[in-house]
Structure 1
Amino acid sequence: MPAAFIAFRPAHADIPPEVNIDTVVADVSDDGVSAPTADVPGLVAVVDRAREEGIKLSVVVLKDNPGRDSQLRDIATEVGKHEGGTVLVLSPNWVGTYSDALSRVSVEDAQDKAYTGNAVDSANQFLDEVVRPEAPYGLITVGLVVIVGGAAAATWFVRSRRIESGRES
């Protein structure tokens, strides 16, 4: 097959060999969490809080970093295919996400704020960012249009008055 055709094939998920997706999915389906035992109670509380906010959140915590940070997103995507909702995957130094309910922009913005090194704190920060209300950009735009339009009308009015007063002299 020509190399040009190979370049356009979608990449397969790159799951680290030490991660068994079937085991992770089975663990997540129970309480929304697949993590070391010490982190489970705190993470279950975050998952429950997310549910109260109307978000189906699953959290996966790896004990070690995989070979590449992109593998966390692949893990999140695979778990998301099975569980749906939003998936947060944490390792000691990296974060990966997937969501079929939230915009990629919102999820990645929240992901950027979830680097704490503590799984429960990271999950809480992620959720806080996801549920934070966004600025009312529609109202801001309308307000700016009204202000600019008003300034243009006022300028036109003042200029037309000056022109008329110049004719009268």
Structure 2
Amino acid sequence: MLAHIAPARLPLAATIPDDVSVDAVLADLAADRVSAPAADIAGLRDVVVRAQEHGIDLSVVVLDRDPARPEQLRDLATEVGMVEGGTVLVLSPSAPGTYSDSISRVVLEGAQDHTYTGNPVQSANNFLDDITEPHLSWGLITALLVLVVVLVGGVSYVAKVRRGPSTPSVDSGDGDPGAGSSDERASVD
């Protein structure tokens, strides 16, 4: 009897929120790397300048409505980032989305967790603070651990070579392990 096989479910294709024009966002970003409501532009420009001081090419997009799915914010950030390059932060009233061609996804997602405050300028500042703080270099830590293991192995090898070849202990008796010397036999009796 054949087992029932569920139909394969394909992941949803990347989508941009319906009411957002990528071309309009890119046009807004062209002048100052900010696409946001007028009330937030000055504060977000300051965040972009501060990011540049840290060597980060940041673009910030603020939407006035939440998309149907939060993933659409990441999809929009990716679309913008593929054209503009650098790091893109997209904020909606209740969630962030990010893309970067220079910052790891792990760091971006960690920063996203601390980003949202409800205030786009404060959220962008939180994001920037998080991505610019020093992070552990797991590659460096791994390389150091490998080096320690190699050094310990090398020291162990050198110590073994200096001891010389291991030889089994030799019995000084007459070849019969149970015979022993006459003094030993007398003390047992």
The TM-score bracket by the shorter chain reads: 0.7 to 0.9
1:136 and 1:71 map into 2 onto residues whose CA distance is 30
Please provide the CA RMSD for this pair.
Answer: 2.8
2:74 and 2:134 map into 1 onto residues whose CA distance is 25
1:136 CA drift (Å): 5.8
1:13 CA drift (Å): 2.4
Q: Specify the SS of the correspondent of 1:50.
A: helix
Q: Where does structure 1 lack aligned partners over 5 or more consecutive residues?
A: 154-169
1:17 and 1:136 map into 2 onto residues whose CA distance is 39
1:27 partnered with 2:25: no
Query: What is the TM-score of this pair, normalised by structure 2?
Result: 0.68
Number of the residue aligned with 1:162: none
Identity in percent? 56
Q: Which has the larger radius of gyration?
A: 2
Count of residue pairs brought into register by the alignment: 148
Number of the residue aligned with 1:69: 70
Number of the residue aligned with 2:42: 41
Query: What is the TM-score of this pair, normalised by structure 1?
Result: 0.76
- Give runs of ≥4 in structure 1 deviating > 3 Å: 135-142
1:42 CA drift (Å): 0.3
Higher relative contact order (CA 8 A, sep 6+): 1
1:135 CA drift (Å): 3.5
Q: Where does structure 2 lack aligned partners over 5 or more consecutive residues?
A: 1-6, 157-189
2:48 and 2:22 map into 1 onto residues whose CA distance is 20
1:120 CA drift (Å): 0.4
1:14 and 1:136 map into 2 onto residues whose CA distance is 33
2:136 and 2:75 map into 1 onto residues whose CA distance is 31
